[in-house]
Amino acid sequence: MAARKQRAAIAFFILRTDNTAMGHQTPLYNEHLALHGKLVDFAGWDMPIHYGSQVEEHHQVRNDAGMFDVSHMTIVDLRGTRVRAFLQHLIANNVDKLKPQQALYTCMLNEHGGVIDDLIVYFMDEQWFRVVVNAATREKDLAWINAHAAAFDAHGSASVAAGRTPEATGVSVTERPELAMIAVQGPHARERVAGVLTDTGQHALRDAALQLKPFYAAYSGDIFIGRTGYTGEDGFEVLLPGQAAVTLWRALLAKDVKPVGLGARDTLRLEAGMNLYGTDMDETISPLECGLEWTVAWEPKERAFIGRDALEKQKTQGVARKLVGLVLEDRGVLRNHQKVIVEGADTGEITSGSFSPTLGKAIALARVPAATGARVTVDIRGSLHPARVVKPPFVRNGRAVVAPVASDPPGTVGLGPAPGMGS
């Protein structure tokens, strides 16, 4: 029975239920245990999928404030005199757009235009850019970044080891595994973080954080605060040393910021229309095929970023597939890999499907033929159900925003989603 492959009996469903340690643990691991977090393996890390109810946690972020331990994500500092030139080559978006302290969402492509990873770049100063990449892609990302950085480091990649400061090199690549990361998200997230900074006497950092525009970052010593996120809500992502992260977590908990697991993080980002690497795109998919053309900086034409030639060829020839949003009209739940039937065209496939707690309906991101119109049919376990095609996001700042899909692709950055850090 083919449909059987889509699901399993309850007995086979959960990875672990006994909360015994198996993978890497973040500095907040004991906090998750104390809060009865249900731990699962995520990219080799023991992470909480929820602390009781994924749906309640989802609503908590949409309506008030929730916090996520995202310390498993990989933080990399790029320093040196040639960092800007290096990033202009390495990533598909252009760091020249950035003002100091501003962040940029971008794809890092291979020579074929396929997505190696999506990431956030913070421009802190002319010799320091901070990059946050996905945990699941850590090793290949670091290998790729290091390999390409070597060519930009005029003194050779051994220069730091030879005793020179990173700033004296062309490009140095330094992972920051000692830093934890807490995402505090929701309409009241920023004021709760500010309250903690007030209580601890960090007035200058508090004032700087409260003055941040969306997608900007500030720091003081080891504490780095970005007004970024992966939920479609306002909020901060705070990067800080492990012990300080435990203190911040407990202080936020005391201010009624509830812990939220990776389960709700996934439904929140899906409602916000944000892609998940490895699910909505991978190395075989270009930004043009996963709704991320708005992150590709085509100008200036002479900027030779990796994958540019392949992308330009694809754009000239026309893209056969596109990523759209779906809203299921019947009851039920859309799931990854369900077949999407498009009248008069090839079939498509759901890349991220789930139940939207905010809309009370099933929603999905799906890769479909470019000619797909306003309605499709989804094969759910062998029965066909109608779905409406929409332009993501589905929800932004707590409100449903789904509307019928526009016939024209988004032409500017402003029309696309404004994602933060993935998982």
Partner 1 sequence: MMSTIPKHLKYTKTHEWVDLQKDGTATIGITDHAQDLLGDVVFIDVPSVGKQVKAGGACAVVESVKAASDIYSPIAGDVIEANPALADQPELVNKDAYGTAWILRLMPANAADIDGLLDAAAYAAFIAADAH
Contacting residues toward partner 1, per CB under 8 A: 1, 4, 6-11, 13-14, 17-18, 36, 49-50, 53-55, 263, 267, 331-333, 335, 354-355, 357, 362, 381
Minimum Å gap between C-beta 269 and partner 1 is 13
Minimum Å gap between C-beta 393 and partner 1 is 19
Minimum Å gap between C-beta 423 and partner 1 is 15
Minimum Å gap between C-beta 234 and partner 1 is 24
CB atoms within 10 A of CB 303: 14
Minimum Å gap between C-beta 341 and partner 1 is 19
Q: Which of 288, 270, 274 is nearest to 370 (CA)?
A: 288
Identify any residues that bridge with 263 across adjacent strands, giving them in sequence order.
Answer: none
Residue whose token pair is 């905010």: 358
Minimum Å gap between C-beta 333 and partner 1 is 4
Q: CA–CA separation, 21 vs 40, rounded Å? A: 10
What sign does the dihedral 413-269-404-374 (CA atoms) show?
Answer: positive
Contact 337, 357 (CB under 8 A): no
Identify any residues that bridge with 393 across adjacent strands, giving them in sequence order.
Answer: none
| Cβ closest to partner 1, residue 40 vs residue 184 | 40
Distances 146 to 48, 152, 160, 365 between C-alpha atoms, Å: 31, 10, 13, 33
| Cβ closest to partner 1, residue 85 vs residue 333 | 333
Q: CA–CA separation, 208 vs 6, rounded Å? A: 49
Paired tokens of 251: 């202080």
Minimum Å gap between C-beta 405 and partner 1 is 25
| Cβ closest to partner 1, residue 18 vs residue 408 | 18
Contact 325, 358 (CB under 8 A): no
Task: Say if residue 12 is exposed, middle or buried (CB neighbours under 10 Å; 0-12, 13-18, 19+).
Answer: exposed
E strand residue ranges, 160-234: 172-175, 179-185, 217-220, 223-226
